[in-house]
Structure 1
Amino acid sequence: MKKLVSTKDLDKKEWLCYRKKGIGGSDAGAVCGLNPYRTAMEVYQDKISEETPDIDNEAMREGRDFEDYVAKRFTEATGKKVRRVNAMFRHDEHAFMLADIDRMIVGENAGLECKTVSPYMADKWKDGKIPLSYQIQCFHYMSVCNADAWYIAALIYGKEFIVHKIQRDEQAIEDLTAIEKDFWENHVIPRMMPEPDGSKTADSVIAEYFRESRKEVLPLNGFDEKLKRRKELQEVMERMETEKRLIEQELKLYLGEAEMAENERFRVSWKSVCSNRIDEKRLKEEQPGVYEQYKKPVVSRRFIVKAA
């Protein structure tokens, strides 16, 4: 492996810029279509964009803050010492494969990935399971670092501490490398967006990428069968939505003014919720100056399908 850059004193924006130079471990699962929270289209958009948004949330903050604790618990649980690397690495042969790892194991050709997990996600780790996206991440690091194995330690808040060792699998690494190479060389470099996967995230990426329309009419070729299938699905979904709504209406009639009903299998609630909303019509009529000052134009595109 080759050291791309030291991360010890690296500014956050610079670090984000270096991440755009290739596929990192946290990108690998999404590129393979195995990350339930991120898609290949999202990774693509991130790599080709010149923007470096500093996206953060509470879960990400806790993951960073608890990394040292998880590493310490790993040492307590296994007796193995770990060390920081403070660097981003690049694969010797495949320059598009990057690794910014949590820890390396002292005395072993192996590394450690530290995870913090919500107790609501504990079932994903039950009976020795490891989420596929995290397995892919570890194989990615093994490939970049030419390691023999990778450990993954997961702190499930308030429940348990889990340690797994993933052995190097040459076939898995070969397949992963081929997928990442295809993604980088056939999508990122030529600026060719990957195929959508039907997720809501893909919807968001497409809407952001093609934010505004231009007055152009294209011939609609090759979509007749898919549009026919879409119509069939829409009809089925409408029937299912009506049935779902009927069940909910029956439950609401049963509850009446009560806010909850439960048995040993289900709990149903129908609680009063108070929220404040701005009366835009009244504001526009009574305070037109204030309305004009604070109104914000939002550009979006409406998708409609009609049968000829």
Structure 2
Amino acid sequence: MVQNFVSTAEMSRDEWLEARRSGIGGSDAAVILGFNKRKSPFQLYLDKTGGPLEETDNEFIYWGNVLEDVVAKEFQARTGKRVRRMNKMLRHPEYDFMTANLDRVIVGEKAFLECKTTSAYKVGEWDGEDIPAAYLCQVQHYMAVTGFEKAYIAVLIGGNKYVWKEIKRDQELIDIMIDREKDFWENHVLAEIPPEIDGSDAAVEFISHRYKENPGEVVMLDSEKEKIIEALDNVKAEIKALKELENKYTNQLKMSLETASEGLTEHYKLTYKTINQTRLDSKKIKEELPNIFAKYSNTSSYRKFGYKKVN
């Protein structure tokens, strides 16, 4: 299998992130299949259609990049295999929206190495033959693009535990992924039709920006929207009940501390300390120094959402 490719050797990180918008990469595949807990298909849609680029100063990303070479060198030491960089963004020869950025390729094999770092809290996800589903999707996506029959993944866990595993090509999973990715790319990204809205910050920002105008007209909504309102009512009632329960438990613990600033149990440490805050009294400034208040005030507008039962 021969792929089209774009050289990434001289790209800055921002240029690389911009290039990723031209297709679906390995980490995107996990989002589309629902295995990424930190990102939704709606957020991915915004990424691919002109949303803000990923932050480049993220510490997790930075150290992941720094330690990639360490993980790759250790893989060579433990396996006796040789690896080399491939500074290319590959494209599937048939489905050109599918892209791959391989960490390393294995010299003398039709295989590649994916390098990872993770926290000690994630060690259980790597027990035995286990591999986190998001990473499995990423690796199988890369095998789909390259045509390779196997891959290796190596991970440094908590800075002091090293694991590497071989992964065989799973054509059944690849076929499912291709269908789902094709649907997402053609019926959402290219068609400019977002997938189902979610509760992410990206979705909130998108709606606030896109529908910021408020000419004042009234529209009629269908019965499905009434079901959503009823569901929202139920959620709010649950939140209220949980908030009251939270307050109850918090108050019981405060009462147990009385005037103490700290309390200890076998597994927990409680704190109940006095915090001093200094804030400007805007009401008083407005009354006594109206010119100063006017000079340093600004007016912003936003749309407030609400609902009530009318019949």
TM-score normalised by structure 1 residue count: 0.88
Q: Indicate conservation of the 8 Å contact 1:38/1:201, yes or no.
A: no
| Segment drifting more, 104-113 vs 254-263 | 254-263
Distance 1:259 1:81, change over 3 A: farther
> What's the CA shift for 1:218?
2.0
Is 1:101 aligned with 2:94?
A: no
> What's the CA shift for 1:272?
4.4
Paired with 1:132 and 1:76, the residues of 2 have a C-alpha distance of: 27
Residue 147 (structure 1) aligns with:
148
Paired with 1:72 and 1:219, the residues of 2 have a C-alpha distance of: 63
CA-to-aligned-CA distance 1:160-199 (integer Å, 9 cap, x gap): 11112221100100001111000000000010011134x4
> What's the CA shift for 1:289?
5.3
Distance 1:263 1:115, change over 3 A: same
Q: Indicate conservation of the 8 Å contact 2:43/2:200, yes or no.
A: no
Distance 1:41 1:296, change over 3 A: farther
Paired with 2:30 and 2:105, the residues of 1 have a C-alpha distance of: 21
> What's the CA shift for 1:134?
1.1
CA-to-aligned-CA distance 1:254-283 (integer Å, 9 cap, x gap): 112323333334443334456665555566
Residue 58 (structure 1) aligns with:
59
> What's the CA shift for 1:48?
0.8
Structure 2: stretches of 5+ with no match in the other structure: none
Paired with 1:164 and 1:281, the residues of 2 have a C-alpha distance of: 64
Is 1:134 aligned with 2:135?
A: yes
CA-to-aligned-CA distance 1:222-260 (integer Å, 9 cap, x gap): 212222222123222211221121011111111123233
CA RMSD of aligned residues (A): 2.6
Structure 1: stretches of 5+ with no match in the other structure: none
| Equivalent of 2:252 in 250, 253, 257 | 250
Residue 5 (structure 1) aligns with:
6
Paired with 2:178 and 2:82, the residues of 1 have a C-alpha distance of: 30
Distance 1:170 1:65, change over 3 A: same
Q: Indicate conservation of the 8 Å contact 2:43/2:203, yes or no.
A: no
Residue 305 (structure 1) aligns with:
307
Identity of aligned residues (%): 35
TM-score normalised by structure 2 residue count: 0.87
Distance 1:283 1:110, change over 3 A: farther
> What's the CA shift for 1:201?
4.1
Residue 238 (structure 1) aligns with:
240
Distance 1:261 1:227, change over 3 A: same
**Paired residues for 1:191-270 under 5 Å:** 191-197=192-198, 199-201=199-201, 203-207=203-207, 210=210, 212-215=212-215, 216-221=217-222, 222-270=224-272
For 1:246, give the aligned amino acid. K
> How many residues are matched?
306
> What's the CA shift for 1:89?
0.4
Paired with 2:127 and 2:301, the residues of 1 have a C-alpha distance of: 45
